[in-house]
């Protein structure tokens, strides 16, 4: 039951995406064939294109897919054909971290999602002209109108849900919102500082607005993003290009420092500033991914006051639990995701990528209606 699909292949670093015909393998017992309705364009996809992430090329990227189930493998019971689904990361399901409810820290996470380019047994999910193409990106490769996804990365959602709006929930939005709601968990009266007002940072702001945080401070270099942060729930904003962010945070907290901070930019300099801003018992979550081997200095005595620095992947979420909750919050109007999204046709993928890299749009979402 091989499936013909139209996919955006990235042939090499700094190359444009090329839309072409490919063939998908038959679904295995633990796989799901999904007809894609929409797919978000994430910084991780652009990181591969820029050469920052060692995914093998040529390959098919995309890891914020949303669509309708077409077929399921013989062992899949979580979804059936016709279900509306969101696609997210995969995990092995059997390692200690998976069994403890932390699949984002699966011991096979990198090979399953980010750098493998194939199934764990070395087989290809995508071929072109009889030759294997690197795929299985986050166990989906959703820059295509049909994808073969690991069942563990597939989440059933409300049949009335607007998939064209919800596609980005599978990675970037889940990451920012989960960092606040699952990891930092600010108590009533907390002050949360968010460094970076990109999609992940703004997702964190929306989540913080649902929490007990009484002060949500956002730092960025772009005034338009700071204005949007205010719309989404920030109580204070700081342009860190014209204002000393650390000084501003201490002024806003009467010299106490912040109880919670979140670094989303990937800058070790910004991360060090975020750590310096912590009050005693304060918690810093690190989401941004600098180049491998990057380091930041921390004064051990500073940390002895109960301060914590926590690395966070995928919001420490279990997608099948967390994503439906986010969907419901969006539908209730309490998580205004639509304010971040710019829509593009699938054939405009290079325009979408360029606009995201230039900072002209926050979260591009590709639409596939013309391909079905």
Please report whether residue 259 resides in a domain.
Answer: yes
Same domain, 214 and 307: yes
CA dihedral sign, ordered 28, 34, 35, 40: negative
Same domain, 148 and 80: yes
Same domain, 34 and 139: yes
pLDDT in tens, 40-50: 999 999 999 99
Please report whether residue 22 resides in a domain.
Answer: yes
For residue 180, what are the contacts with CB-CB under 8 A and spacing of at least 6? 186, 192, 204, 207, 208, 211, 262
Q: Using DSSP, state whether 202 is helix, strand or coil.
A: helix
Q: Is the pLDDT of residue 361 over 70?
A: yes
Residue 306: give the domain boundaries. Answer: 173-314
Share of the chain above pLDDT 70, in %: 99
pLDDT score for 130: 86
Please report whether residue 21 resides in a domain.
Answer: yes
Phi, psi of 64 (to 5 degrees): -130, 60
pLDDT score for 36: 98
Q: Is the pLDDT of residue 285 over 70?
A: yes
Same domain, 23 and 83: yes
CATH of the domain at 142: 3.90.180.10
Same domain, 194 and 309: yes
Q: Is the pLDDT of residue 177 over 90?
A: yes
Same domain, 102 and 148: yes
**Distance separating the N- and C-terminal Cα atoms of the chain:** 18
Please give the average per-residue pLDDT across 114-124, as a whole number: 93
Q: Strand 59-60 vs strand 363-367: parallel, antiparallel, or unpaired?
A: unpaired
316 within 8 A of 296, measured Cβ to Cβ:
no
Same domain, 118 and 203: no
In 3D space, the residue among 243, 200, 191 whose CA is nearest the CA of residue 225 turns out to be 200
Please report whether residue 293 resides in a domain.
Answer: yes
Instruction: Mark out the alpha helices in 209-348 (DSSP H runs).
Output: 223-232, 245-252, 268-276, 300-303, 319-331
pLDDT in tens, 304-349: 999 999 999 999 999 999 999 999 999 999 999 999 999 999 999 9
Distance CA 220, CA 340 (A): 16
Please report whether residue 257 resides in a domain.
Answer: yes
Please report whether residue 325 resides in a domain.
Answer: no
Among 314, 345, 360, identify where a domain stops.
Answer: 314
| Structural domain count, the chain | 2
For residue 107, what are the contacts with CB-CB under 8 A and spacing of at least 6? 92, 95, 96, 97
pLDDT score for 166: 96
Radius of gyration in angstroms for the set of CA atoms belonging to the chain, rounded to a whole number: 20
Distance CA 372, CA 311 (A): 40
DSSP state of 110: I
String of DSSP letters for 185-211: -PPTT-EEEEE--SHHHHHHHHHHTTS
Same domain, 307 and 367: no
Please report whether residue 161 resides in a domain.
Answer: no
Virtual CA dihedral for 204, 209, 215, 216, nearest 10 degrees?
A: 30
pLDDT in tens, 180-230: 999 999 999 999 999 999 999 999 999 999 999 999 999 999 999 999 999
Q: Is the pLDDT of residue 272 over 60?
A: yes
Q: Using DSSP, state whether 99 is helix, strand or coil.
A: helix
CATH of the domain at 243: 3.40.50.720
Same domain, 286 and 359: no
Same domain, 289 and 180: yes
Same domain, 147 and 44: yes
Please give the average per-residue pLDDT across 242-247, as a whole number: 94
Give kind and range of the element (H or E) at residue 126.
strand 126-128
Please give the average per-residue pLDDT across 64-85, as a whole number: 97
Same domain, 17 and 112: yes
Please report whether residue 322 resides in a domain.
Answer: no
Share of the chain above pLDDT 90, in %: 91
| Mean pLDDT rounded to a whole number for the chain | 95
């Amino acid at each position: 039951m091989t499936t013909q699909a139209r996919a955006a292949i990235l042939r090499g670093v700094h190359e444009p995406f090329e839309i072409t015909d490919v063939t998908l393998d038959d679904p295995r017992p633990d796989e799901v064939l999904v007809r894609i309705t929409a797919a978000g364009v994430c910084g991780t996809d652009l990181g591969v294109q820029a050469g920052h992430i060692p995914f093998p090329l040529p390959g098919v990227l995309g890891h914020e897919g949303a669509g309708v189930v077409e077929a399921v493998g013989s062992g899949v019971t979580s979804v059936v054909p016709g279900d509306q689904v969101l696609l997210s990361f995969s995990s092995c399901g059997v390692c200690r971290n998976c069994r403890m409810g932390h699949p984002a820290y699966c011991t096979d996470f990198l090979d399953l999602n980010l750098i493998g380019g194939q199934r764990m047994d070395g087989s290809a999910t995508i071929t072109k002209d009889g030759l294997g193409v690197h795929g299985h990106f986050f166990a989906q490769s959703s820059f295509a109108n049909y994808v073969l996804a690991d069942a563990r990365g597939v989440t059933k959602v409300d049949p009335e849900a607007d998939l064209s709006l919800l596609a980005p929930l599978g990675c970037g939005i889940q990451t920012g919102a989960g960092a606040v709601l699952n990891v930092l968990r600010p108590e009533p009266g907390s002050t949360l500082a968010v460094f970076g007002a990109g999609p992940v940072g703004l997702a964190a702001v929306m989540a913080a607005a649902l929490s007990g945080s009484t002060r949500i401070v956002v730092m960025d270099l772009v005034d338009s993003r700071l204005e949007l942060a205010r719309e989404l729930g920030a109580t204070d904003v700081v342009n860190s290009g014209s204002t000393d962010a650390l000084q501003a945070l201490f002024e806003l907290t009467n010299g106490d420092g912040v109880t919670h901070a979140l670094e989303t930019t990937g800058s070790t300099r910004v991360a060090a500033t975020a750590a310096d801003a912590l009050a005693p018992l304060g918690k810093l979550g690190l989401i941004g991914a600098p180049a491998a081997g990057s380091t930041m200095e921390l004064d051990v005595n500073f940390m002895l006051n109960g301060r914590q620095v926590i690395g966070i992947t995928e919001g420490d979420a279990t997608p099948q639990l967390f994503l439906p909750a986010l969907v419901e919050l969006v539908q209730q109007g309490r998580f205004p995701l639509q304010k971040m999204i710019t829509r593009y046709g699938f054939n405009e993928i290079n325009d979408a990528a360029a606009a995201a890299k230039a900072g002209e749009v926050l979260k591009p979402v590709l639409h596939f209606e013309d391909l079905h």
